[in-house]
Amino acid sequence: MKKQLLLFLSLLSGVLLYGAWPVSPFCFLIFIAFVPLLIVADNTKKRLVFFVYSFLTLLIFNAATTWWIWNSTDVGSIAAIIANSLLMCLPWWGYHVMLQKHGKPIGYLSLICYWMLFEYIHLNWQLSWPWLSLGNVFAMNPNWVQWYEYTGIGGGTLWILSTNIIIKILFNKLVNNRKAVLGLATIIAAIIIIPLVFSFLLLKGRKEILPSKSDVVIVDANMDAYEKFELSTATSEIQKLISLSEGSMDSTTQLILWPETALSLPTWQDQINTNIYYQPVFAFLQRHPNVTILSGIETFKHYGNYQATSTSRKEDDGSYFDAFNTALCIKANQPLQLYNKSRLVPGVESMPPFLNFLSPIFEKFGGTTGGYGRSDSSKVFFMADNPYHPAPVICYESIYGEYVSTYVARGANIITIITNDGWWGNTPGHKQHLQYARLRAIETRRWVARSANGGISAVIDDYGNIRASQPFDKASATKYPIPINNTLTFYVRHGDYLYKIAGFVALLLLVWHGFFLAKSKFGKKITT
């Protein structure tokens, strides 16, 4: 096959991946998006050459779907897009090696397992960026994947890769051997249709949860993401949040949701109650003692003269402290409850030590050069006489299915997402972020209340349907009687088990391949 055709096919795969991704309406393209690249693998002997072809595919995919991070920093966005594209090449490199050494059946199994292992690692290591995990592609089509309550997005990734491989095999048969075409076409139809049928059966068997007698008010003051941390802007934001809240609440309101860092003037965690700038908030709650506010806030915690955490920073007097992106739960006459964001944005909120030299670049994404501290685990807020037990999911955390499920396992009966999406402007970034929240609702069968400064605030039901939303770039308040659900899905109980199984098989394949190479090498020496 000519080099020009191989180049075209690698570029075509990248374009198809982009064409399938939210917020595109052509999601179905994902089932053929990798077929051209699989054909390239069959017709490329040299590993380095195939690595270049796969890099071109994945660079187009990354750049076209996440170009919007350019709105914050040009150099940082280029570095992030190239780095993620290179990482995505690793499972394809492994696939090509196994294909050349062990043939197509082992090669295809390796591709599925290596890619799923890559996604699982990318969900859990320090430079985690699962924004483009393949299972996320169905976020705008929740009726296709109601079975995520059993599998999470790992099931979607498995579905996509399997379908692409079988369609590619069918393509080969069409070219070389037409006798098996009908059988393969039947398999393709089955592998696409059966998950869809299962999903629609789950929809048909849905039991509607009765509306709650209480309601949630979701508030977005729509403040500039960069200016909101200035003193004058921060104080006016508090007044605006209070005004919007009081204008929408009534006697049935139990929970008010404000965005991430809505309380944007940093304060020590043990001084929140006495902070002069936040006294209007406490006065508001005294006027409405039955109401709970869940809000984002910037906080510090002092450790004294010892370094309590790896993220703590040293002050001039020799003492140590941590900075946190915090969720705060407040109710009149009750102790404050705090949760510090655990899943931090790489570069923006956390930086591996070997990349500290890049901190000034990534700070422009809206983080801190010193890095944030974090909680060790999720936390649920329980307030006396409040039927809602919210999961305080902060911004980026909402793309981690297994992590969000841990809130539910701890007793959360509603998922509250507080975010500040204004960093990216009116681009696909904030729209993708909203859509991914629909998958968390399906996985956990919990309603989602989403307060998004500079984004789209919304109410999402337990089947991933957006029940109410507010336009982008508009101050708003939404009151909704969100139902409560206490059942635990299979996914909540077992997490990302598909990724773990695939990862185990991937490791077995690597060990087997290692033994194969060793046997080949030492066998030749003995023969000689």
DSSP string, 74-85: HHHHHHHHHHHH
420 and 515 housed in the same domain: no
**pTM metric for this prediction:** 0.92
301 and 184 inside one domain: no
Domain that holds residue 322: 215-492
Tell me the two tokens of residue 60.
Answer: 């187009």
**Number of domains the chain is built from:** 2
Q: Are residues 181 and 280 in the same domain?
A: no
Together in a domain, 59 and 201: yes
- DSSP string across 5-41: HHHHHHHHHHHHHHHHSTT-S-GGGGGTTTHHHHHHH
Task: Answer whether 465's CB lies under 8 Å from 140's CB.
Answer: no
Residue 229 shares a structural domain with residue 310: yes
Beta bridge partners of 296: 327
How far is residue 79's CA from residue 64's CA, in Å, rounded to a whole number?
Answer: 15
Q: Identify the CA nearest to 44 among candidates 91, 1, 86.
A: 1
Pair (416, 370) in one structural domain: yes
- Alpha-carbon distance of 380 to 410, in angstroms, equals 7
Alpha-carbon span 407 to 392, nearest angstrom: 8
What does 250-291 look like in DSSP terms, one character per residue?
Answer: -TTEEEEE--TTSEEEEEEGGGTTT-GGGHHHHHHHHHSTT-
Same domain membership, residue 479 and residue 461: yes
Domain of 250: which CATH number?
Answer: 3.60.110.10
Structure tokens at 267: 């304060």
DSSP state of 128: -
Instruction: Indicate the DSSP class of residue 346.
Output: B
Q: Are residues 108 and 180 in the same domain?
A: yes
Residues 44 and 124 in one domain: yes
124 and 193 assigned to the same domain: yes
Angle, in degrees to the nearest 10, between helices 35-42 and 3-20: 160
Per-residue pLDDT of the chain (528 residues; tens, 9 = 90+): 799 999 999 999 999 999 999 999 999 999 999 999 999 999 999 999 999 999 999 999 999 999 998 876 677 789 899 999 999 999 999 999 999 999 999 999 999 999 999 999 999 998 899 999 999 999 999 999 999 999 999 999 999 999 999 999 988 888 766 666 777 788 888 999 999 999 999 999 988 777 788 999 999 999 887 777 788 888 999 999 999 999 999 999 999 999 999 999 999 999 999 999 999 999 999 999 999 999 999 999 999 988 888 888 888 888 999 999 999 999 999 999 999 999 998 877 876 655 554 544 444 444 444 579 999 999 999 999 999 999 999 999 999 999 999 999 999 999 999 999 988 889 999 999 999 999 999 999 999 999 999 999 999 999 999 999 999 989 999 999 999 999 999 999 999 999 999 999 999 999 999 998 888 877 665 444
466 three-state secondary structure:
strand
Same domain, 396 and 452: yes
Q: What would the 3-class secondary structure string for 385-407 be?
A: CCCCCEEEEEHHHHHCHHHHHHH
Q: Burial level of 281, CB count in 10 A (0-12/13-18/19+)?
A: buried
Residue in the block written with tokens 């020799």: 318
Question: Which amino acid would we find at residue 495?
Answer: G
Q: Are 145 and 156 in contact (CB under 8 A)?
A: yes
Are residues 20 and 117 located together in one domain of the fold? yes
Please, what's the b/e burial string for 349-374 (b: 16 or more CB within 10 A of its CB; e: otherwise)? bbbeeebeebbebbbbbbbbebbbbb
